[in-house]
Structure 1
Amino acid sequence: MRHTPWLSIRIRIRRLRRRIPPRIRPIVFHLCSLRFWVGIFTGAVILATLTLVAGTAISGWRYHLPTGEKPNQMAVINTVATLASFVLVASASTVALVAYMFASGRPRLEVQLSIEDPEIPQIYFEAAHESGQITNPPLLRIKKKPQTSVVIRLENHSTFAARNPGIRVELIGLANFQAPSYWKVIEEREWGVTCIQWDGGADDPVHRRWTQQIEGFDLGDTKEISRKPAIKVTALADRATPRARTISVFVLEPDLWELYQEKMRKRLLRDLDKHFKSTGRKARLRKLLNRV
């Protein structure tokens, strides 16, 4: 997610929420909610209307309204009731408009693959050993391993629920792909399936600020047929703008795969050094990683 001023404001609000004592946190959240203040405003308008009408009927309040030479109490009451009705209608229209805006907002979806690189949109696989390659450089086949199984995370970053979600996956420059039975095949060519789609339907929405995991597919034994294979993933829902991401796929030979694994291990140690400041804890974590 891009760093925006709104994101900085939300981060500051979350920090302030954490400073609130847990005992009074529900009370503070209730006092800061829009529903609470809408109820207070509506009740205040009704109470003020009843007070003004009662003051006119009992105490003879005229509110500097022109009623002629003799005070016309009924005319003042009618005027006050008319103004109060206008205020109530205006407030009710405002509340209805706000409710419509909250109910008809656009969800903002984003798709993440469980095996993609956390820093850049790339996926790395180990190549299987094959003999008799005639291309130079050879077109490699992905070695089937547990790490080739892809789990898809559908994230909703908005405050509106995403109804009827759907995900489309397009394989670019990859052949011999076997589509799972729970995915719908959209396009198939002579070298295999190239496009699949998942539909959540009306009974499987993605709630606001929620992440939903979807059973994905396996890229094991898939073979590259171009120099720049990639996976294009598109997320869509009702009233949502389609958001597509293109993730590059790299099939590495065994020696390059070992270098990549060493690089990922160093990155993991670097991230652990940032999160764990205690020297003893870092040493124990390094021992555990070395055992693995």
Structure 2
Amino acid sequence: MQRVVLAQHKCVTYVCDKRYLLLLMFLDYAVEPFYYERGLDFYDDGQNYSLASLLYTVGPTLLGKQAFDALLAAFQRAVKEKSQDALHELVLAARRLKWRELPEALGPLAQASPECLSAIATPGVTTDVALVVLQSLISRMEVMADGAYRVEHDQSKNLLTYHALLQRYIDHEQEVEFKQTQIASIKFPLKLSSVTQVDSKASPAVQVADVMIGAAIEAANGLTSLRTPLLDPKAVMSLYAEDQFIHMVPSIDFAEQKRFRQGTQAGQVIDYIASNFHR
């Protein structure tokens, strides 16, 4: 079934590393505001992705695994609770690390940057990655679609939360385009015409999507040796064309990261979305 779907239909599979996404969000709220206040574009050429990859790869060893995990847990708690106690504990967690080993990433928190603490305490800021993933998928589907298209998804509580926002995306008629990577951009108005939530038991399309992503996750786990795969990972991955598989995973090939994201307008995208869609 997977071979037939990939060969005969337009489709894309998107695999993300949740820990990496959490680190990207950590940089968004616990680091970037410090640089923004000083007139520096933290997102220039995708350097936030490189720094998140560096933290992901060497953080546990360089900073101590338990202390590093404690920092991320304190960050999640601070974002959720937004209390002074939680924010104070987050600063202490940063100071307990060997933060001077990576001051670019940990210095703002260790020095209790008011800009970063204010960003974390902002109402509506969460560590929910559903919208981040959905926006990336929409960018890819916009490229794939020849004309108007619709999206169906299962009855996910997270995605239901974003229905009003997604509808505003669909209704937005101003013509504007932002470059995100060498192969991706976001352009309004969208070709996307509607987003609906359906019972997966009554939707063959959602059921097929579940099988497709299940096989991809199984293959990814096998390739990274997280567990013994049920399917041959290389055989599964060989079924995908180059434009049918996208991912958000760490990479320490910093030169390639910079090339791929050179000229990105990530900062402008964030400002535009904040100004036009979040209210």
Higher relative contact order (CA 8 A, sep 6+): 2
Length-normalised TM-score, structure 2: 0.22
- Bigger CA radius of gyration: 1
